[in-house]
Structure 1
Amino acid sequence: MENHNHQQLIEKLLNCANTCEICFSHCLSEGGMMANCAKLDRDCADSCRHAIALLQSQSVIGHQYLVLCEEICRKCAEECAQHQHEHCQRCAQACQECAEACHSHHEQITQR
């Protein structure tokens, strides 16, 4: 794994995690019809925070983990984009930007 400067990627991941947490809180208060959105918000926030930890510790799987993080961000963006709530629209945008950042930094998952 190359030693990249991950500051911009980490900022995107952190922004995504924070935006997902805000969306999660709002979705919980809006009731059952937003349950799937809330679940994906939580999954995405957790995934982004884990990616940050792996990158900061220079884990050997950090860049491979970004493949999964990208996928979760894309799923969350897709779900949030379906809702007209302002918090969902902001979340969809943050998730899409994070997915693109993960895509530009990830390595393929390999089994050894």
Structure 2
Amino acid sequence: MHAQNQSLLDALNACIASCEHCASACLQEDDVKMMARCISLDRDCADICALTARLLARGSEHAQHLLRECAEICKACGDECAKHGAHSQHCQECADACRRCEEACRAGLQG
């Protein structure tokens, strides 16, 4: 596998893990309702990252299209998590992972 693809897969997998952890931790917060958008975006982000990683790993012709979508959702999730990062370490870590994944997805786009 090409080194750039491996780096991208690593970023996608790290983002999946961070988003899953963040969503689970947000569900333990005292005011879960305040975290609803964060949890929803965490779940969407983890799912799109997982699908993107699978298509990229198999060399699918559709991987490029998903990289665009993945970057967009990673940005939205990272922005939302950053809003809570001051009081939630898991949100700050997720925001950082989402930003790294967004950058990796954009770098992986061809043309």
Q: TM-score, normalising length from structure 2?
A: 0.91
Residue matched to 2:72? 71
Residue matched to 2:27? 28
Gaps of 5+ in 1: none
Gaps of 5+ in 2: none
Q: 2-side partners of 1:76 and 1:91: how far apart?
A: 8
Deviations 1:56-88 (A, max 9, x none): 111101112100000000000000000120000
Residues 66 and 107 of structure 1 are in contact (CA less than 8 Å); yes or no, is this contact kept in structure 2?
no
Matched residue count: 106
Q: 2-side partners of 1:63 and 1:36: how far apart?
A: 27
The alignment status of 1:41 with 2:29, answered yes or no, reads no
The alignment status of 1:9 with 2:8, answered yes or no, reads yes
Percent identical pairs in the alignment equals 45
Q: 1-side partners of 2:109 and 2:61: how far apart?
A: 12
The alignment status of 1:87 with 2:90, answered yes or no, reads yes
Q: How far off is 1:107 after superposition?
A: 3.9
* 1:29 counterpart SS class: coil
Q: Which ranges of 4 or more aligned residues in structure 1 deviate by more than 3 Å? A: none
The alignment yields a C-alpha RMSD, in angstroms, of 1.3
